[in-house]
């Protein structure tokens, strides 16, 4: 019989594989398919379901939905005013799955990814680039560092 820790590790590995696939897909095609985003949300939900109580899960789901809605509204307004895509709906969907896993790490990774995306665009003299190849590694790195620091403290 598997322990809860082993199940969490398995679903975290599944999430990492799906997030890597989303980053590669975004780098190649500038989009994240809905099926992949749904699989990410489902795997992150199961991962969190093994970690916290039902009530805390509902609170985290609500907390993740609020920034998701704000980002969607901002993106729609951006497209209306500027006439082109900004953050991207695929990026928002993947960020939602990250918010489910760990909100603080997700926001930290978002900031780090924005900085590296800006630096990349400055060095390459580009006006835009896919965001998920910067967001996914940032999230994994921040999550690993946060968890290792939490174990030390």
In tens, the pLDDT along 50-61 reads 888 889 999 999
Q: What is the 3-state secondary structure (H, E, C) of the chain?
A: CCCHHHHHHHHHHHHHHHHHHHHHHHHHHCCCCHHHHHHHHHHHHHHHHCCCCHHHHHHHHHHHHHHHHHHHHHHHHHHHHHCCCCCCHHHHHHHHHHHHHCHHHHHHHHHHHHHHHHHHHHHHCCCCCCCHHHHHHHHHHHHHHHHHHHHHC
- Could you give the percent of the chain with pLDDT greater than 90? 65
- pTM, two decimals, is 0.91
Model pLDDT for residues 117-153, shown as the tens digit of each residue:
999 999 999 888 899 999 999 999 999 898 877 666 5
pLDDT at 47 over 70: yes
pLDDT category, 23, cuts 50, 70, 90?
very high
């Amino acid at each position: 019989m598997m322990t809860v820790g082993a199940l969490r590790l398995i679903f975290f590995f599944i999430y990492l594989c799906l997030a890597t696939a989303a980053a590669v897909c975004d780098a190649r095609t500038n989009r994240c398919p809905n099926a992949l985003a749904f699989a990410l949300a489902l795997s992150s939900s199961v991962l969190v379901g093994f970690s916290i109580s039902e009530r805390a899960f509902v609170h985290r789901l609500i907390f993740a939905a609020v920034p998701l809605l704000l980002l969607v509204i901002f993106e729609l307004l951006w497209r209306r005013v500027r006439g082109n895509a900004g953050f991207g709906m695929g990026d928002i969907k993947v960020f939602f799955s990250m918010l489910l896993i760990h909100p603080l790490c997700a926001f930290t990774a978002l900031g780090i990814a924005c900085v590296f995306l800006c630096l990349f665009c400055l060095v390459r003299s580009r006006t835009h680039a896919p965001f998920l190849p910067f967001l996914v590694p940032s999230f994994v790195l921040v999550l690993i560092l946060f968890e290792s620091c939490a174990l030390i403290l």
